[in-house]
Amino acid sequence: MVAVTVVVTRDLLKATMLFAIYSLTIAGLFATLDAGDVALTEAAVGAGISTVLILAVLALVPRHEKRQAGHSLPALAIVTVTGAALVYASFDLPQFGHPDNPVQQHLAPYFIEQTYPDMGIPNMVAAVLASYRSIDTMGEAVVILTAGIAVYALLSPAPRRRQRRREHDS
Amino acid sequence: MTVLSFFNYWAVIVLMMIGYYCMIVRGNMIKKIIGLGIFQTSVFILFISAGKVIGGATPVLREGVDVYSNPLPHVLILTAIVVGIATTAVGLALTVRIREAYGSIDDDAIDAVEGDDRA
Amino acid sequence: MKDNAILVVVARFLIPLMMLFGLYVQFHGEYSPGGGFQAGVLFAAAWILFVFIYGLETGLRIIPQRVIYTLACLGVLLYAFIGMLGVILGGNFLDFHPLLDAPRAAQQAGIILVEFGVGVTVASVVMLFFLLFARRRADSEAAGLDPDAADDVETDRQ
């Protein structure tokens, strides 16, 4: 699949473009799973902004990854064991799409029935996001503002030649 | 039929392991950030597929639709996607600074440089 | 890139359309999938396309750097202000029902204002990210570092 090629390739530009295609495919998958808001956000953010930012950084770092010597067997073993354990655990999870799943029981019917009488707006996701669970959205806005401040603090000093403390440099 | 109904979880696990492998094996920092992105999208698929009702529709109230899919996972994942780009951006800013300070963005090369500096 | 005729023509058509679509998604967030985050990202993407074609200096003349910083903070402050308005007018934090008299209209007004604050913050922070990354290359060339140099670290990997 696309994800395996992203991992294997050593040319970072190719990896970035394939990551954009992967994000767009996942956005299509979200749209198939009845998630309209999420598909729009993932398409805009994953295929748009993430790709542009990585490309902007690729202008500043070398484009090719160093060749790795050999395969790393312990890492493959860890990944396989973790994957097998998760697959074993997945048999206890509820079946896909069943209307009687526990996740559909407690709060979802309340929100589906109460959104129109309480607020009068059709989009249930926006109602929950902005009114029923408003503080979480404020926390998220603060998080993205903090990320902006952090990037500003990291990148506003002008670049300077690094000083190395080696003996044989004068 | 009963085994196949777990198929969505297996797809999520495969993607999660691919992202995990990328993060721990590749030394290049930008590759690690891309691996983190793959891992994050696999978790999003887990939540969204858990909230789907077969025969349901997008959770926007409209005429002619009886069964809606669950809107609560969509709210969680919207927040998670935006936090994901925040994390990616800060990670990329750190990569730029590391490149300027150490001259390389590969893990093993940076370890070697730090060993030289300390010696 | 502004000498390339195809790009200029396409940009003149697409950029206002993207900004308009961003505003549409923002204010129709209650009726169809949309809302603050998507609208913010769309608006920032329109500005980034403008910077690609016409250059960073022209982009900064349209929306200066100080305006971007200020708008980022103002978005979150607007959100918190709506919350405090709920407290001042007699309810809990971020309650929308004290704002107007009709309960449904109060909720809708609160949701529109809050999503607008989030949209403004997301748009300006994404523009800020791109601005800082794009300027780094010019700054590092001016400071004498060479961004295209291969890794100048000797490692023996075997």
CB count in 10 Å sphere of residue A164: 12
Q: Is there a contact between C31 and A60 if contact means CB atoms under 8 Å apart?
A: no
Q: Does some domain include residue C41? A: yes
User: Domains of chain B (ranges plus CATH)?
Assistant: 13-52+68-118 (1.10.287.3510)
Cβ atoms A126, C30 nearer than 8 A = yes
Q: Is there a contact between B78 and A136 if contact means CB atoms under 8 Å apart?
A: no
pLDDT of residue C156: 42
Is the Cβ of B91 closer than 8 Å to some Cβ of chain A?
no
Q: Which chain B residues touch A165 with a CB distance below 8 Å?
A: 117
Provide φ and ψ at B13, rounded to 5°: -65, -40
* A14, amino acid identity: K
Nearest to C35 among A118, A126, A151 (CB): A126
* B98, amino acid identity: I
Instruction: Give helix B72-102 / helix B29-50 axis angle, nearest 10°.
Output: 180
pLDDT at C17 over 90: yes
Biggest CA–CA distance in chain B, Å, is: 74
Q: Does some domain include residue C148? A: no
Provide φ and ψ at B28, rounded to 5°: -70, 135
Q: Which chain A residues touch C79 with a CB distance below 8 Å?
A: 137-138, 141
Chain C partners (3+ C-beta pairs within 8 A) = A, B
- Domain boundaries defined on chain A: 1-64, 101-157
* CA-wise closest residue to B47 among A43, A125, A35, A36: A35
**What whole-number percentage of chain C has pLDDT above 70?**
88
Q: Does some domain include residue C154? A: no
Write down the pTM of the prediction. Answer: 0.86
Q: Which chain A residues touch B91 with a CB distance below 8 Å?
A: none
Question: What proportions of chain C, in percent to the nearest 5, are helix, strand and coil?
Answer: 70, 0, 30
Cα of C5 to nearest chain B Cα, Å: 33
pLDDT of residue A168: 44
Q: Calculate the dihedral angle through the C-alpha atoms of A21, C39, C110, C63, rounding to the nearest 10 degrees.
A: 140
Distance of alpha carbon A132 from alpha carbon A117, whole angstroms: 13
pLDDT of residue A95: 75
Q: Does some domain include residue C157? A: no
pLDDT of residue B18: 87
Residue reference for tokens 């858990």: B50
Tens of each residue's pLDDT in chain A, 170 residues: 677 777 777 778 888 888 999 999 999 888 888 888 888 899 888 888 899 899 888 888 877 776 666 667 888 888 888 888 888 888 777 777 777 777 777 777 888 888 888 788 888 888 888 888 888 898 999 999 999 999 999 888 777 766 655 444 44
**What whole-number percentage of chain C has pLDDT above 90?**
30
Contacts of residue B102, Cβ cutoff 8 Å, sequence gap at least 6:
A162, B109, B110, B113, B114, C153
Distance of alpha carbon A42 from alpha carbon A39, whole angstroms: 5
| DSSP output for B65-99 | ---B--SHHHHHHHHHHHHHHHHHHHHHHHHHHHH
Tell me which of B80-89, C42-51, C106-115, C145-154 is least confident: C145-154
Q: Which residue has the higher pLDDT, B119 or C141?
A: C141
pLDDT of residue C121: 93
**Positions in chain B whose pLDDT score sits under 70:** 1-4, 108, 117, 119
Cα of A106 to nearest chain C Cα, Å: 23
Tell me what the mean pLDDT of segment C43-59 comes to: 89
Q: Is there a contact between B78 and C37 if contact means CB atoms under 8 Å apart?
A: yes
* CA-wise closest residue to B51 among B76, B82, B14: B76
Q: Is there a contact between C147 and A129 if contact means CB atoms under 8 Å apart?
A: no
The token duo for C50 is 């403008």
Q: Is there a contact between B112 and C155 if contact means CB atoms under 8 Å apart?
A: yes
pLDDT of residue A129: 86
Tell me what the mean pLDDT of segment C134-155 comes to: 66
The token duo for A104 is 């559909």
Contacts of residue C145, Cβ cutoff 8 Å, sequence gap at least 6:
A159, A161, B100
In total, how many domains does chain C have?
Answer: 1
Task: Give the model confidence (pLDDT) of C75-132 as tens digits.
Answer: 999 988 888 888 888 778 888 877 777 878 888 888 888 899 999 999 999 999 998 8
Q: Does some domain include residue C156? A: no
Q: Which chain A residues touch B60 with a CB distance below 8 Å?
A: 36, 122-125
pLDDT at C153 over 60: no
pLDDT band at C158 (very low <50, low <70, confident <90, very high): very low
Distance of alpha carbon C134 from alpha carbon A52, whole angstroms: 10
Tell me what the mean pLDDT of segment C31-50 comes to: 89
Residue reference for tokens 């697959």: A87
pLDDT of residue A106: 79
pLDDT of residue B89: 92
Distance of alpha carbon C41 from alpha carbon C24, whole angstroms: 13
Instruction: Supply the range of the domain harboring residue C66.
Output: 5-142
